[in-house]
Amino acid sequence: MTDSWWKKAVVYQIYPRSFADSDGDGMGDLRGIIDHLDHLAELGVDVLWLSPIYPSPQDDNGYDISDYQDIEPLFGTLETFDELLTGAHARGMKLIMDLVVNHSSDEHQWFLDSRSSKDHPKRDWYWWRPARDGMEPGTPGAEPTNWGSVFGGPAWEYDDKTGEYYLHLFSRKQPDLNWENPEVRQAIYAMMRWWLDRGVDGFRMDVINMISKDVSLPDGRLSTGAAYADGSASFVGGPRLHEFLQEMHREVFRGRDELLTVGEMPGVTVDEARLHTDPDRGEVDMVFQFDHVWVDRGPDPWLLQPLQLTQLKAILGRWQAGLADLGWNSLYWNNHDQPRVVSRYGDDGPEHRVTSAKMLGTVLHLHRGTPYVYQGEELGMTNYPFGGIEDFRDIEALGQYRQALDLEGRTPEEVLTVLRARGRDNARTPMQWDDSPNAGFSTGTPWLPANPNYPEINAAAQRADPDSVFHYYRRLIELRHTEPAVAEGDFTMLLPHDERLYAFTRRLGGTELLVIGNFSGDAVRAEVPEMENAELILNNLAEAPVDRTLAPWQAVVYKRT
Ligand code: TEU
């Protein structure tokens, strides 16, 4: 069993193209990260996770990798990378890489070889299939299965050269690697060892629960109004997933200490996650689950659902209970695929933005698990005021918009309403460093404009203000480091039926913490057990609750020993 230092740790996610641009080309880069390491050290985070920085055609902003063992020239060189790694380590921070091995770029040499002929030795490194029986190859409906891709259109691309189709669960420039082939797996493991030998401290593994497919590739169920079927039953948590992860663990991680491995697993269940994170099974340290960020997604993808707090509590409570005695949770509100949480589950208006951002941070960080902070979350950054579709850059937004309008009879306004609230570009606008042009992100033209609220919301202003979201996050992180009940304590949900208050306790030995967050703009009385002789150790407002009544968006943590 490896040690579990990461139970006390907080991870900070950097999306390099939007973090800091050192050379004025409008695109963030590694030198920009180096220049801002002190911001991260001051915040107190333990681990940095970099979204992909490898050479890439940037079809999906780097999640389409054309060379796994080099650095994208837009971002820097391997030498700059080594300098970044040294700089992080010197400040006591670890660094983990994004591992995207469900698919590569179609411009990776492996795929170029695979596509070149039916008998190339690498043909079988990807999923090639002929047209559906009796259908003319390349004609509509002749795809080997009826599956849709995540970014719109079918999950199969016809390739003229050999008259067959290849599978791509995401964009057509992200062909799926065939993990059934042991040579593919060995090539990936060798690449991973190469990065670990270079000094990196682990991996965040992109859609790692999709690497094993049902090799019979059956059609999926087609729901009414949808252009393509959902094939996920054939590749989410597929038949050989545990076997592949255990093999990876043996081949790559065994004998190396102090690593962190986290598997991104859309659609994973609690029971599966227990298996994946049981240390004795040797798979991954923790997983990212999605249930709590899909809570405001209804059966109709183009209809906004408001948050129902009771549902959010039921979901997160179920995950806390399910991994209480075995395995480990990761905790996040935000990443590069999610809208800004203060705009989504909080209130980003002038009156409550700061308070609700702190409340959301409190509730998340006081759960049992390893918290992840996404760049700008520590400032309470908000969604961007998008107008029309021309304002979006994300391949997912553009692809889904086209499919919804062209094939599914949706109106632009219907789709735009959802993209503005939930689109991934909300997370990808430049990090707001100060009140100089472009938020201090770049002296050139940023690839995505800065949120116009940067003169007010920025890191420089918040570092100077002891009451800022930044300093509050710093205290939250410090609390995890210093209070063992935060890292190790058990978890009990209170008030499961309350639509406005999120309340729970954490207990370790003789220490009890009571956490209450008000998810509403009303003053609400908390019907929780009296915390006699309890000390108020954290409060996101100046005034303590009177008669157990929390002010709008207030969050408090009491400690009793
Ligand atoms: O995302 C996986 C994933 O499930 C996405 O479909 C995500 O949930 C969706 O886009 C949210 O709207 C990972 C990466 O995090 C994402 O950036 C990549 O685009 C994707 O894999 C393909 O590599």
Average pLDDT, the chain: 97
Task: Look up 206 and say whether it is catalytic.
Answer: yes
Range 372-404 burial, b when 16+ CB lie within 10 A, else e: bbbbbbbbbbbbbebeeeebbebbbbbbbbebb
Domains of the chain: 5-102+182-213+233-384+430-472 (3.20.20.80), 109-167 (3.90.400.10), 385-428 (no CATH), 487-560 (2.60.40.1180)
Q: Which atom of ligand 1 is nearest to the CA of 102?
A: 23
| Half-sphere exposure (Cβ direction) of 436: Cα atoms closer than 13 Å | 7
Distance, first Cα to last Cα, the chain: 32
Answer for the pair 54, 62: CB distance below 8 angstroms, yes or no: yes
531 token code pair: 């915390």
Answer for the pair 118, 162: CB distance below 8 angstroms, yes or no: yes
Distance between CA 517 and CA 316 in Å, rounded?
14
Per residue in 360-416, pLDDT (tens digit) is 999 999 999 999 999 999 999 999 999 999 999 999 999 999 999 999 999 999 999
- Evaluate: CB of 207 within 6 angstroms of ligand 1: yes
Distance between CA 450 and CA 463 in Å, rounded?
19
Ligand 1: which residue has its CA nearest to atom 17?
337
Instruction: Give the pLDDT band of residue 3 (cuts 50, 70, 90).
Output: low
Widest CA span in the chain: 77
Q: Which atom of ligand 1 is nearest to the CA of 170?
A: 22
Has residue 531 got a pLDDT over 90? no
Phi, psi of 419 (to 5 degrees): -65, -40
Question: Which of 150, 236, 372, 425 maximizes ligand 1 atoms within 8 Å of its Cβ, making it the mutation to test the pocket?
Answer: 150
Per residue in 414-470, pLDDT (tens digit) is 999 999 999 999 999 999 999 999 999 999 999 999 999 999 999 999 999 999 999
Has residue 340 got a pLDDT over 50? yes
Task: Look up 351 and say whether it is catalytic.
Answer: no
Has residue 532 got a pLDDT over 80? no
Q: How far is the CA of 265 from the centre of ligand 1 (A)?
A: 10
244 three-class SS: helix
Has residue 291 got a pLDDT over 70? yes
Distance between CA 214 and CA 233 in Å, rounded?
9
Instruction: Give the pLDDT band of residue 529 (cuts 50, 70, 90).
Output: confident
CA nearest to 514, candidates 527, 531, 496: 531
321 token code pair: 């209970």
Answer for the pair 186, 130: CB distance below 8 angstroms, yes or no: no
Per residue in 352-368, pLDDT (tens digit) is 999 999 999 999 999 99
What residues contact 208, with CB distance under 8 A and at least 6 apart? 99, 101, 102, 245, 263, 264, 265, 284
| Bridge partners (DSSP) listed for residue 148 | 154
What residues contact 210, with CB distance under 8 A and at least 6 apart? 102, 169, 176, 235, 236, 238, 266
Per residue in 18-36, pLDDT (tens digit) is 999 999 999 999 999 999 9
Q: Tokens 């080309």 map to which residue?
A: 25
